[in-house]
Amino acid sequence: MDAVSVLPALRGLMAKGNALPRLMRVDARGGEPVIALPDGCAEVVAAIRAQLPAGAECATLTGIGTYRAVFDAPTGRASGKVAVVTGAAQGFGFEIAADLAKQGAYVALADINAEGVNAAAEKINASCGRAAACGVSVNVADAGSVRDALGQVVAAFGGVDMLVANAGVLRAGSVKDLPEKDLDFVTSVNYKGYFLCVQAAAPIMALQHAAASEVWFDIIQINSKSGLVGSNKNGAYAGSKFGGIGLTQSFAMELVEDGIKVNAICPGNFYDGPLWADPEKGLFRQYLDSGKVPGAKTFEDVKRFYESKVPMRRGCTTPDVMKAVYYLMEQTYETGQAVPVTGGQVMLA
C-alpha cells in the first residue's frame, strides 16, 4: 500500500466532527498503535478502523511511517483545509492560493514552472508567518505528472480537501488559420488538464469521505466568461472552456455520492494579470496582433474596448473571484454550477 491509498483514510478516521486534521510525519515513539495493511487491501477504511483505537491522534502505518494528527485553531474561512491550486506560480492562481493561506488553509501551489512555484510558496509563507504553502511541479496535461504531484501533497498534509483547477492557457486566432498545434495546446491544458486533475484528486477525497461521511469536499474550476458565451477569433479557448463546464456538470452528478461538490467560477477579464498584460505573450499583445479589436493601435486601446463592454466598467479582480470561491466552499446545497463573476458582462437567464 502507498501513502495516497492510506493516509486520506487515516485522516478521515481521526476527524473531530467536521474537522479533518493535517497529518504530520513524526518519529515513532513506540507507544502509538501500529496499523498493518496487506498489499491489495480492498477495504482500507474498515481495516484501519479495526486497528485504530478511539480518539487516537498518532499511528504508525507499517511500511509508510508514523503520523500525528494536527488540529489548528480556527483562523479564517478556510482554517485547516488542505487546498491544491493549479497554475499557481503567478496571476490568479497565486493570488487565490495566497488568499486561501491567509484564511487559514494549507496550500499546495502546483505549476509547470517549478522554480517559480517554489518561490511563490516561499512568498506566501513569509507573508503568513507560518509554513502554510508548498510548491509542487506539475504538468496538468500529463496523467503521471498529476498523480505524482497529488502524491506529494498527500505525503505533506495527509489528504486534499479542495482542488482549485486554475491552470489555463490561451492562443487567440481565427478558425480560418489557427495552427493545429495551438488548438492542441489549449485543449490539452484547459480541458484534458482539468479532467486529469479531477481524476487524481477525486479518489483521495472519496477515501476521506468514506472515513468521515459528514465531511464534504470541493472541486472548483476557474473557468471563464468565455465558457458561457462564444468569443470571436478565440474559438479554441472558448471551446475548451465550454467543455470545462460540461465536465463540471458531469463530475458533479457522479461525485456527489463521494461527498464532493464540483462547481465552476467564470470570471470576466483579469487585465492586471500576466494572461492579459504580459508584453510578449499576453492577450493585449495577441488581440492587438490578430486584429481582433478593430482600429486598436496600443494595449490601452484594447483594454478600453473590453472595459466598455462591462456594465461595471472595470476588469475582474482576485477579491471578486474569492467571494465566489468562499461561497461555493461554504454553501451545502449546490453543485454542478457555473458562477459568473463578470461585472454584468454575461447575465444568466
Q: Looking at this protein, which amino acid is placed at residue 304?
A: R
Q: Looking at this protein, which amino acid is placed at residue 78?
A: A
Burial 307-330 (b: 16+ CB within 10 A, else e): beebeeeebbbbebbbebbbebbe
Do residues 344 and 312 lie in contact, with contact meaning Cβ atoms separated by under 8 Å? yes
Residues across the chain: 349
Do residues 262 and 251 lie in contact, with contact meaning Cβ atoms separated by under 8 Å? yes
Question: Is 106 labeled as catalytic in the residue annotation?
Answer: no
311: alpha, beta or left? (left if phi > 0; alpha if psi -120 to 50):
alpha
Do residues 253 and 135 lie in contact, with contact meaning Cβ atoms separated by under 8 Å? no
CA distance 34 to 66: 9
Dmax (CA) for the chain in angstroms is 75
Q: Which of 106, 191, 194, 237 is catalytic?
A: 237
Q: Looking at this protein, which amino acid is placed at residue 234?
A: N
Q: Looking at this protein, which amino acid is placed at residue 261?
A: K
291: alpha, beta or left? (left if phi > 0; alpha if psi -120 to 50):
left
Residue 83: phi, psi to the nearest 5?
-120, 145
CA distance 153 to 258: 20
Catalytic residues: 237
